[in-house]
Amino acid sequence: MEILRSKAIRGKSGFLPLPVGAVVPEAWLRDWALTAANGITGHLDEYFATFREAWKGYGFDARGDNPDGTGWPLEQSSYWLDGAVRLAYILDDQALIAKVKARLDPVVSGVLGGGESFIYWRPRSVLSDNFNSWVHSHMGRAASCANCACRSTHLVTAPSTRLACRAL
């Protein structure tokens, strides 16, 4: 695998990226992952509106939420989704996969429907704010991980893929 280290130097990577789920946890690590899936990581959205309502394109009553649906809840929810997606696929936990898919589908549909970023309900200019750009990149990590784990081509066919992936 060739990687570009600078414009003048090319070299081979010492590591090969593996898709999520290619390595399956065993023994104590599997026990830890199952505890996380059955605990707060697998159920955070059941306890807090921040994780249940963020990324749906509207404001809601949560600390740090803006009337247009942007703000702190997007960041927190994308961190959670990034971890929950990875956990779901390494465990092949169908219930958790269905949960994170249900949370990611509106975002991917919004991008495929013409959204200019993962914050699909706002114009691209929303990314000029450093906070929103950061939030966008973390949702990109979660969506890209799910896209690779389920071997979907939905996200990569999106017109704004270059914009979406540039922030990753």
Please give the chain's pLDDT, 168 residues, in tens: 444 444 555 667 777 777 787 889 999 999 999 999 999 999 999 999 899 999 988 888 888 888 998 989 999 999 999 999 999 999 999 999 999 999 998 998 898 888 988 999 999 998 888 888 888 888 988 888 888 877 665 555 554 444 444 333
Distances (CA, A) of 158 to 23, 88, 109, 136, 144: 28, 24, 9, 15, 12
- Count of domains observed in the chain: 1
Would you state the structure tokens that stand for residue 96, as one six-digit string? 């958790």
Task: Please calculate the CA angle 133-151-87 and round it to the nearest 5 degrees.
Answer: 65
User: Is position 149 within any domain?
Assistant: yes
Range of the domain at 113: 23-166
Is 122 within a domain? yes
pTM of the full predicted structure?
0.80
Domain membership flag for residue 124: yes
Is 17 inside any structural domain?
Answer: no
Domain assignment of residue 80, yes or no = yes
